[in-house]
Amino acid sequence: MRTAFVQTLIEEAERDGRIWLLTGDLGFSVLEPFIERFPGRFVNAGVAEQNMMGVAAGLALSGKIVFIYSIANFPTLRCLEQIRNDVCGHKLSVKIVTVGGGFSYGSHGYSHHGIEDIAVMRILPGLEIAVPADAAEARVLTRVFARTDGPSYLRLGRGREPAVHNSEPALPRGIPAPVKPGSGIALLAAGPVLGNCVKAAEGVNASGLDPAVYSMPWIKPMDADAVAAIAGRHEWLLTVEEATAAGGLGGAVAEILSGLPQPHARLKRLGTPDQILAGSQDQDSSRAIVGIGASELISAMLTLSKHTPPKTPKPADGPKRPCA
């Protein structure tokens, strides 16, 4: 996914001379092709993210479109006030790119778990947020952000993510991308963890379940009508993200559902809990522990299916059920 991002960025920078790239001293063996091609439009700002974000703002105020690259929470949490006051506060064309969202750097430890970013970035005004699931989505979204004015956040995996799409998907702004049709349960996933959802959706067939799967690369904007439509067609929405279960993709979907006047699917949000993982865990192990590995998703769906209200009404003297 990193390679897809850099290749697309180079194409866009060929097209648009305003595009610059900044890094916080990261990107070894990744960014070299851009650096070689456009040395005058590249800056390694060193391990100094607050200054880097300020420099990005200054460049953007001088007419540049600035991509800013780092890993995990470094280009976000470390310089959050600069993003808020300087970038968002002035609606600047700064495109924040992080590599290693979620547990991509799992065994590096808690400092390198980029899991709060989606929730935190979501509440900054005017900041568009995209979380591609595979290299194809990364290409599309890099292009979109390169050609859009204003602040953007692109959260990438690390590499070697399984391809979800056979060809480049359209990914209109804010719209969930259908990956697999189905009924009953709809899995809504943001990012490479979508691969686990596709596996799990297959894995539950044997138990008689046929869930739909959607990729949710657009966290913000998120089209409420599109989400409501999915919620109208299923009994359960299961959001899956390699990020906090609170406040990220699941939070955004919950906010939409809570405002709907009509009956809709119930919601189960899967993601990281309010806890720090103990010990060194690689990405697959971390995902399993927090419940977003393929096996764990299968178990979750089987549990949900036991709580699905029956399609036909119960007899009058049966136990009351809460509204769906």
Partner 1 sequence: MRLADRVRADALRMVARAGASHIGSSLSAVDILSVLYGGEILRVDPANPGRPDRDRLIFSKGHAAAACYAVLAESGFFPTSLLDSYCRNGSPLCGHVTSKGVPGVELSTGSLGHGLPVGCGMALAAARENKPWRVFVLMSDGECDEGSNWEAALFAGHHKLDNLTAIIDCNALQGMGEVKDILDLEPLADKWRSFRWAVREIDGHDHALIRDTLNALPVEKGKPSMILARTVKGKGVGFMENKLEWHYKSPDAAQLKQALDEVEKNTRNMR
CB 113 within 8 A of CB 72: yes
Among residues 226, 294, 279, the alpha carbon closest in space to that of 257 is found at 226
Segment near partner 1 (CB under 8 A); pick from 40-48, 138-146, 236-244, 254-262: 40-48
**64-86 burial code (b ≥16 CB/10 A, e <16):** bbbbbbbbbbbbbebbbebbbeb
109 binds partner 1 (CB under 8 A): no
Residue 255 Cβ, how far from partner 1 at the closest point, in Å?
28
Among residues 26, 7, 9, 216, the alpha carbon closest in space to that of 104 is found at 26
Segment near partner 1 (CB under 8 A); pick from 25-33, 51-59, 180-188, 288-296: 51-59
CB 213 within 8 A of CB 182: yes
| Cα dihedral 33→34→39→41 (10° resolution) | 180
Given 3, 61, 123, 273, the residue binding partner 1 (CB under 8 A): 61
Q: Which CB, 46 or 109, lies closer to partner 1?
A: 46
48 binds partner 1 (CB under 8 A): yes
263 binds partner 1 (CB under 8 A): no
Q: Which CB, 86 or 134, lies closer to partner 1?
A: 86
Q: What are phi and psi of 209, to 5 degrees?
A: -100, 150
Residues in 62-91 at the binding interface with partner 1, rule: CB under 8 A: 62-64, 81-82, 85-86, 89-90
55 binds partner 1 (CB under 8 A): yes
Q: Tokens standing for 292?
A: 């977003």
Given 15, 32, 33, 51, the residue binding partner 1 (CB under 8 A): 51
Residue 61 Cβ, how far from partner 1 at the closest point, in Å?
6
Q: Which CB, 62 or 207, lies closer to partner 1?
A: 62
Among residues 159, 52, 44, the alpha carbon closest in space to that of 96 is found at 52
Binding residues vs partner 1 (CB under 8 A): 40-41, 43, 45-46, 48, 50-64, 81-82, 85-86, 89-90
